[in-house]
Structure 1
Amino acid sequence: MSSVFLNVVPVFILILIGWVTAKTGILKQETGDALGEFVFKIAVPMLIFRTLADAHFEGVSPFRLWAAYFLGVAGTWTVGHLLATRLFRRDAKVGVITGMSASFANNVFIGLPLVANIVGKDGLVAISILLAIHLPLMMVVGTILMEGAVSKVDGGKKRSVAEILKQVGSNLARNPLVLALVVGVSFNFLDLHLPVAIAMVIDHLSAAAAPVALISIGMALTQYPIRGDIGLSGTAAILKLLLLPALVFLMSYLLALPHDWAAALVLTSSVPTGINAWLIAQRFRSGHGLAASVISITTAFGVVTVSFWAWLLS
């Protein structure tokens, strides 16, 4: 257990460094935003491209991987929504935010570095394939459910599914992660190779992805204090850190995923909640305090639960 813990701790220490530098004013918050943009638009796409361009897929279907992960997400989201609306007596809008906060893992900024550190290259392949549809699918589902909840609670006309898909599709076509995946897989299947100098540049940019991502997310955490609705936010945090990885673990076993792929999915599902749940809450002006609290709580306790899952998988 101690060796596993030592592999997990550096990830959270880097997050803590980012938080301290922003909290104390050593670096301005705008710096953290710029670092996050660099990670999302350049460093992580380079890492995904490099990983997939050299990957050996060995005939493993991505559909089993997606099914294992998103069945776990669906189960956790449903439990979170029902607990919020039935047990805590919140409205449907807060129910959607609770379900999303409990099931939306920070796969890009924390999941990728963690999997790279513990599982290795085969795990990165699995995460790269997951990221191809994770953000767009989660945002589409979250937006559709929130549109329905707003219409139910506040009244008014909701947008059609076609309108939402059109908007998300337009954003998806410009998403750097998706573009990196398409180009990387194309290179792999066409057996193309980069010039040595270009490959070295991409390797350097890829190497920056993990530390810069973790520091930037630590700096961003200063914007998400724990405030109000502790009972519900604590419940959502428990679902996120324990139920989601447990369901993904079960689904990965039932669908007979390769060990490294299963380990990668369980680990990335066990990381703290991503900020996209908060973005949805802000957009619809409901549950943003809840989402912010879940992000901070899951990050504070994540080092313990992630270490547990890493130990279990080892």
Structure 2
Amino acid sequence: MALYTPIIEAMLLLVLLIIAALVLRRAGALTEDHAGVFSRVITLLILPALVFNHLSAHPISADMLKAPTMLFLSGLMLMALAWYVGTRVLHLGRLQLGALILCTGFGSATLVGIPLVEIAHPELDLQESILIGVLGVELPLFILGPLIASYYGRRDGLSLGAGARVVLGSPIVPAVIAGILWGQFELPRGGNLALDTLFLTLDHLEAALLPLVGLAIGLMLKPITIANLLPLFAFVAAVQLVLQPTLLAVGSWLWSLPESITATLILQGAAPVTALSAIFVRQSGCDGTLAASLILFTTLLSLLTIPLMVIAFG
């Protein structure tokens, strides 16, 4: 029961936020256009704050990069598989293909994975587990997400120069650089009014991420014909909820990672599609309704698959 509790709490919180957005939209208090406002607040303010807050916590050593690298590589493999299936098997259009690739490659390693790690392995350094999720999923998503979504959201694709402008124009890039330098030089994160206020503000901004993402997803949802998209939904669920943790389990054993780190990777890899994918999809004009539907579908289904993955891999 202890394992189910954090799963249910994390899932229900997101689902309730989505329902709240639907109710507010029906009442006329919010519209679909507000999803764009929430998306810009998230990408321009909250995500840079989150990145700097975690990367500045402590120095990053070479040994700490093994697990995030494995998580990142598994995501790349899944995105390549999604591209192949989306183009050669499902014959999706550009807007749907962009949403599929992003939703397949990035799971909710921190929102769902971290609470599970905290319960299942309280002996672990939670900051290291957070760093695995941030470096292995969130940071690549913050960089690759806008590129992939912009490429498929534009009819003519994305040139090298335009891609560079998308990445370098994001406030996440200076946040990454500043966070890494702050952590490597072990600069203080408190001790005076200015620093205490700065990092307290960052903590509060990070706490606003889930409510804004949940509301944005709810505003993106529209009625869709599930029957026509059932193969796509089944593919994403199988890849994200089953294949991903399996790849991480096998890779961890082959790379001889500690059992505790292996367990952390499996829990984070078994998480549903990250809600942040919908933000980048929505901003770039790809199929936001499809992305939001995939997030909701895999979130509910993971209530069953996560315990099964834990049982399967111990």
Q: TM-score higher than 0.5 here?
A: yes
- In the alignment, residue 11 of structure 1 is paired with which amino acid? A
Residue of structure 1 equivalent to 2:182: 187
- Among 61, 74, 77, the residue aligned to 1:75: 77
Q: Distance in 2 between matches of 1:250 and 1:235?
A: 23
What is the CA-CA distance between 1:309 and the residue it aligns to?
Answer: 4.6
What is the CA-CA distance between 1:39 and the residue it aligns to?
Answer: 4.2
- Among 224, 228, 237, the residue aligned to 1:227: 224
Q: Distance in 2 between matches of 1:195 and 1:206?
A: 12
Deviates more, 1:232-241 or 1:72-81: 72-81
Match of 1:24, SS state, is helix
Residue of structure 2 equivalent to 1:241: 241
What percent of counterpart residues are identical? 14
- Among 135, 138, 141, the residue aligned to 2:142: 135
- Among 149, 163, 170, the residue aligned to 2:165: 170
* Structure 1, unaligned runs of 5 or more: 151-157
TM-score by length of 1: 0.73
Match of 2:222, SS state, is coil
What is the CA-CA distance between 1:224 and the residue it aligns to?
Answer: 2.4
Is 1:16 matched with 2:15?
yes
Does the CA-based 8 Å contact 1:51-1:184 persist in structure 2? yes
Deviations 1:79-125 (CA, angstroms, capped at 9, x unpaired): 4344445554x257488447505523255xxx333344333211111
Residue of structure 2 equivalent to 1:124: 130
What is the CA-CA distance between 1:3 and the residue it aligns to?
Answer: 0.6
* Structure 2, unaligned runs of 5 or more: 118-125
**CA distance 1:41–1:93, shift in 2 (3 Å):** closer
Deviations 1:220-261 (CA, angstroms, capped at 9, x unpaired): 222123513232232233222222332233334433445565
What is the CA-CA distance between 1:186 and the residue it aligns to?
Answer: 0.5
Residue of structure 2 equivalent to 1:216: 212
- In the alignment, residue 232 of structure 1 is paired with which amino acid? P
Residue of structure 2 equivalent to 1:113: 111
**CA distance 1:146–1:113, shift in 2 (3 Å):** closer
TM-score by length of 2: 0.73
Deviations 1:157-205 (CA, angstroms, capped at 9, x unpaired): x56xxx6332232232243333222212111222322443234334433
Residue of structure 2 equivalent to 1:55: 58
Residue of structure 1 equivalent to 2:123: none
Residue of structure 1 equivalent to 2:194: 198
Across the aligned residues of Structure 1 and Structure 2, the Cα RMSD in angstroms comes to 3.7
**CA distance 1:271–1:244, shift in 2 (3 Å):** same
Q: Distance in 2 between matches of 1:288 and 1:37?
A: 15
Does the CA-based 8 Å contact 1:112-1:210 persist in structure 2? no
Q: Distance in 2 between matches of 1:258 and 1:41?
A: 37
**CA distance 1:144–1:20, shift in 2 (3 Å):** closer
Is 1:45 matched with 2:43?
no
